[in-house]
C-alpha cells in the first residue's frame, strides 16, 4: 500500500458485542454519539448527516448517500468546525454492520475520497480509532471510554 492510498482511503474494522440495531442506534442518534464522538451530537436521517458540537455549533452538515438500517450508511464528510478543514473538498464515510455468529457484529468504517482533503485525512487518521474504541466500549459496558 502506498502512502497516498493509506491517506486517501482509510479502513477501520472491529468486532462489537452488540446487535446491528444497537450499533445503528449508537451511530445515528445524538444521545449516543455525544458520549463517544468528541461530544458531537450527531443525528442521521435518510437525507442528512448533521453533527453539532457541545456549544451547538455546526461541525458537519452533509448529504446521506445510502441509508439502509441497520446494515449500511454512507454520508458525506466535511469538518466545518475548522475554517481550514471546511475549505477542503468533501470526503465520504461508509459504515457497514455485519452480524456474526456468536452475538456480535463486524463494524467496518471506510473514510475515502480524501484526495482533495489532505488536512482532513491527517486529522481523522487518529481520530477514528478513538471514536470507534469509544463506541465499542460504550456498547459493551454501558459506560464511555473517557469521561
Domain residue ranges in the chain: 3-141
Instruction: Pick the range with the lowest mean pLDDT from 1-5, 32-36, 82-86.
Output: 1-5
Q: What is the pLDDT of residues 15-69, one digit of tens each?
A: 999 999 999 999 999 999 999 999 999 999 999 999 999 999 999 999 999 999 9
Residue 103: HSE in the Cβ half-sphere, 13 Å Cα cutoff: 3
Strand pairing partners for 73? Answer: 67, 95
Say if CB 23 and CB 38 are below 8 A apart: no
pTM above 0.85, yes or no: yes
Domain 3-141 listed as CATH 3.30.530.20: yes
Q: What is the pLDDT of residues 15-25, one digit of tens each?
A: 999 999 999 99
Q: What is the pLDDT of residues 90-142, one digit of tens each?
A: 999 999 999 999 999 999 999 999 999 999 999 998 899 999 999 999 999 99
Give ∠ CA 68-14-115 in degrees, rounded to 5. Answer: 70
The per-residue pLDDT for 146 is 76
Q: Write down the number of H helices and E strands in the chain.
A: 5, 7
**Phi-psi bin for 36: left (phi > 0), alpha (psi -120 to 50), beta?**
alpha
Helix (H) or strand (E) holding 114: none
Q: Output the 3-class SS for 69-98.
A: CCCEEEEEECCCCCHHHHCCCCEEEEEEEE
Amino acid at each position: 500500500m502506498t502512502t497516498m492510498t493509506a491517506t486517501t482511503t482509510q479502513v477501520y474494522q472491529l468486532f462489537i458485542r452488540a446487535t446491528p440495531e444497537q450499533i445503528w442506534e449508537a451511530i445515528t442518534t445524538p444521545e449516543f454519539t455525544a458520549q463517544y464522538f468528541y461530544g458531537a451530537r450527531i443525528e442521521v436521517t435518510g437525507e442528512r448527516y448533521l453533527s453539532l458540537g457541545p456549544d451547538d455549533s455546526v461541525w458537519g452538515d452533509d448529504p446521506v448517500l445510502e441509508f439502509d438500517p441497520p446494515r449500511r450508511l454512507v454520508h458525506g464528510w466535511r469538518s466545518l468546525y475548522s475554517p481550514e478543514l471546511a475549505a477542503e473538498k468533501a470526503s465520504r464515510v461508509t459504515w457497514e454492520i455485519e452480524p456474526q455468529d456468536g452475538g456480535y457484529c463486524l463494524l467496518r468504517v471506510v473514510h475515502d475520497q480524501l484526495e482533495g482533503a489532505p488536512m482532513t485525512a491527517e486529522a481523522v487518521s487518529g481520530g477514528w480509532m478513538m471514536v470507534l474504541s469509544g463506541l465499542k466500549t460504550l456498547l459493551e459496558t454501558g459506560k464511555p471510554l473517557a469521561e
